[in-house]
Structure 1
Amino acid sequence: MKILITGGTGLIGRHLIPRLLELSHTVTVVTRSPEKARQHFGTRVEIWKGLEERRSLEGIDAVINLAGEPIADKRWTDAQKQRLCESRWRITEKLSALIQASETPPDVLISGSAAGYYGDLGEVVVTEEEPPHNEFTHKLCAKWEQLACTAQSDRTRVCLLRTGVVLAPQGGILGKMIPPFKLGLGGPIGNGRQYLAWIHIDDMVNGILWLLEKPLRGPFNMVSPYPVHNEQFAHALGHALKRPAILRVPATAIRLLMGESSVLVLGGQRALPKRLEESGFVFRWYDLDGALEDLLA
Structure 2
Amino acid sequence: MKTVAIAGASGFVGQSLVEYFSKQNYKTVQIKREVLSNASKLDELIESCDIVVNLSGANIINRWSEEYKKLLYSSRINTTKSLVESINRVQTKPKMLISTSAVGIYDNKATYDENGSYSNDFLSNLCQEWEKEAKKVNNGFTKVTIFRFGIVLGKNGGAISKMMLPFKLGLGGIIGSGKQYFSYVHIEDLVRAYHFTIEKELDGVYNLTAPTPTTNYEFTKTFGKILNRPTIFPVPEFVLKLIFSEGAKVLSDGQSAVPKNLLQNGFEFKYRNIEECLKEICNK
Please indicate, yes or no, whether the TM-score normalized by the shorter chain is above 0.5.
yes
Distance 1:174 1:159, change over 3 A: same
Matched, 1:108 2:96: yes
Matched, 1:257 2:243: yes
Question: What residue is the counterpart of 1:84 in the other structure?
Answer: 72
Question: What residue is the counterpart of 1:54 in the other structure?
Answer: 41
- 1:208 is paired with a residue whose SS is helix
Shift of 1:55: 5.7
Matched letter for residue 70 of structure 1: N
Deviates more, 1:16-25 or 1:226-235: 16-25
Question: Could you report, residue by residue, the CA deviation over 1:156-195 in whole angstroms, capped at 9, with x for unpaired residues?
Answer: 1100010000001022111111111111111111110101
TM-score normalised over the length of structure 1: 0.90
- Matched-pair contact (CA < 8 Å) for 1:60–1:106: yes
- Matched-pair contact (CA < 8 Å) for 1:55–1:101: no
Separation in structure 2 between the aligned mates of residue 244 and residue 212 of structure 1, nearest angstrom: 42
Question: What residue is the counterpart of 1:8 in the other structure?
Answer: 9
Distance 1:51 1:24, change over 3 A: farther
Separation in structure 2 between the aligned mates of residue 85 and residue 253 of structure 1, nearest angstrom: 25
Separation in structure 1 between the aligned mates of residue 91 and residue 243 of structure 2, nearest angstrom: 50
Of 81, 92, 108, the residue aligned with 1:121 is: 108
Shift of 1:31: 2.4
Matched, 1:147 2:121: no
Shift of 1:128: 0.7
In structure 1, the gaps of 5 or more residues are 33-47
Deviates more, 1:49-58 or 1:98-107: 49-58
- Matched-pair contact (CA < 8 Å) for 2:213–2:273: no
Question: Could you report, residue by residue, the CA deviation over 1:26-72 in whole angstroms, capped at 9, with x for unpaired residues?
Answer: 1110124xxxxxxxxxxxxxxx7445143622232110111111110
Matched, 1:67 2:53: no
Separation in structure 1 between the aligned mates of residue 182 and residue 175 of structure 2, nearest angstrom: 11
Question: What residue is the counterpart of 1:216 in the other structure?
Answer: 202
- Matched-pair contact (CA < 8 Å) for 1:168–1:295: yes
Separation in structure 2 between the aligned mates of residue 78 and residue 253 of structure 1, nearest angstrom: 20
Q: Structure 1: which 4+ aligned runs deviate by more than 2 Å?
A: 48-51, 53-57
Shift of 1:104: 2.2
Matches within 5 A, 1:222-261: 222-261=208-247
Distance 1:260 1:59, change over 3 A: same
Separation in structure 2 between the aligned mates of residue 55 and residue 166 of structure 1, nearest angstrom: 29
Question: What residue is the counterpart of 1:291 in the other structure?
Answer: 277
Matched letter for residue 163 of structure 2: M
Identity %: 34
- 2:147 is paired with a residue whose SS is strand
Separation in structure 2 between the aligned mates of residue 244 and residue 170 of structure 1, nearest angstrom: 23
In the comparison of the two structures, how many residue pairs are matched?
A: 279
Of 190, 195, 210, the residue aligned with 2:181 is: 195
Matched letter for residue 106 of structure 1: P
- 1:54 is paired with a residue whose SS is helix
Shift of 1:97: 0.6
Question: What residue is the counterpart of 2:20 in the other structure?
Answer: 19
Separation in structure 1 between the aligned mates of residue 144 and residue 193 of structure 2, nearest angstrom: 15
TM-score normalised over the length of structure 2: 0.94
Shift of 1:23: 1.2
Separation in structure 1 between the aligned mates of residue 36 and residue 136 of structure 2, nearest angstrom: 20
Distance 1:245 1:287, change over 3 A: same
Matched, 1:158 2:144: yes
In structure 2, the gaps of 5 or more residues are none
- 2:47 is paired with a residue whose SS is coil
Matches within 5 A, 1:152-191: 152-191=138-177
- Matched-pair contact (CA < 8 Å) for 1:30–1:51: no
- Matched-pair contact (CA < 8 Å) for 2:172–2:220: yes
- 1:167 is paired with a residue whose SS is strand
Separation in structure 1 between the aligned mates of residue 47 and residue 31 of structure 2, nearest angstrom: 15
Matched letter for residue 121 of structure 1: N
Shift of 1:207: 0.7
